[in-house]
Structure 1
Amino acid sequence: MLVSNESQNPNTILDKFKWSLVLVLIAFVVWGNFYFSGPNDIYQPNTIVRIIAVVIISLLALFIAMTTNIGKSFLSFLQESRKELRKVVWPTRKETTQTTLLVAAITIVAGLALWGMDSLFRSVVFYLTLIGR
């Protein structure tokens, strides 16, 4: 007897419902922000209420998204990334300055070398094809 994956794991049905709710909330924010838009004056009460409503509904949608399996794994990823970021040994200001100057110098030298080779090849091609005369 075949059993579908959805009946085996009720969390997937709940997750699908949550993601649907998130999409509906985002669509509502976009529609409401467009529908209730008025003149571009930021100090009008309508604009301030609209901004507050967008922030609150967006935070609600974000909260709902973070309660899904994908959201939980994303939060776990962010926490692990933050731990790894703390382990990074950042260069000092002196090292950063020296590296930046070295990269700039190498870039200038490489640019001059390419310009020189281009000029040389141009002269050779003009000489061989008699275009330059």
Structure 2
Amino acid sequence: MKYKNHRHLKKHKNYEKVKWLLIFFIIIVTLLTNHFFKNCNLVVKYTMLTIITGINIIFFYSTKKGKKILLFIQESTNEFYKITWPTKQETFYTTLIILIVAIFISFILWLLDSIIFYFISYIIA
């Protein structure tokens, strides 16, 4: 039984490798045809490019990594909807507080700079 399961896993890994080779092959063929048929009608060229890209995306999402990425995107979307966004009033008051603190700290730094400048000029003169 263990031997049969190992054979199945090896076959599945080979199938994944074939999918990745097919994906890269389609990308290379797409780039080459785009280069060689640059004088072709743009509508036809972009339609074919869209179809080939769609096929490539389908192949990509059928791989293990593609399924993991798709699951990550779905979970990220769910988490995005769980976020509690601040209201306009909260955003305004937070910005106002930050602005006041920045002005206050800059005033303190200016005052310290002036005092240090005064002492240094007194010592030098």
Instruction: Please give the TM-score of this superposition, normalised by the length of structure 1.
Output: 0.67
Aligned-partner Cα distance in 2 for 1:88–1:104: 25
* Consecutive unaligned residues in structure 1, runs of 5 or more: 39-44
Matches within 5 A, 1:48-63: 48-63=43-58
Aligned-partner Cα distance in 2 for 1:70–1:111: 51
Aligned-partner Cα distance in 2 for 1:94–1:34: 54
Aligned-partner Cα distance in 2 for 1:27–1:128: 74
> Are residue 22 (structure 1) and residue 29 (structure 2) matched?
no
Aligned counterpart, 1:71? 66
Query: How many residues align structurally?
Result: 120
Aligned-partner Cα distance in 2 for 1:116–1:57: 66
Which structure has greater helix proportion? 2
The amino acid of 2:91's aligned partner reads T
Question: Which SS does the other structure have where 2:41 is aligned?
Answer: helix
Instruction: Please give the TM-score of this superposition, normalised by the length of structure 2.
Output: 0.71
Higher relative CO (CA 8 A, sep ≥ 6), structure 1 or 2?
A: 2
The amino acid of 1:47's aligned partner reads L
The amino acid of 1:30's aligned partner reads L
Q: What is the percentage of aligned positions where both structures have the same residue?
A: 28
Aligned-partner Cα distance in 2 for 1:33–1:128: 74
The amino acid of 1:106's aligned partner reads V
Deviation string for 1:82-119 (max 9, x for gaps)? 22222211111221222233334434444555566566
Aligned-partner Cα distance in 1 for 2:57–2:38: 23
Aligned counterpart, 2:98? 103
Question: Which SS does the other structure have where 1:11 is aligned?
Answer: helix
* Consecutive unaligned residues in structure 2, runs of 5 or more: none
The amino acid of 1:91's aligned partner reads P
The amino acid of 1:96's aligned partner reads T
- Cα displacement (A) at 1:63: 0.7
The amino acid of 1:89's aligned partner reads T
Aligned counterpart, 2:37? 36
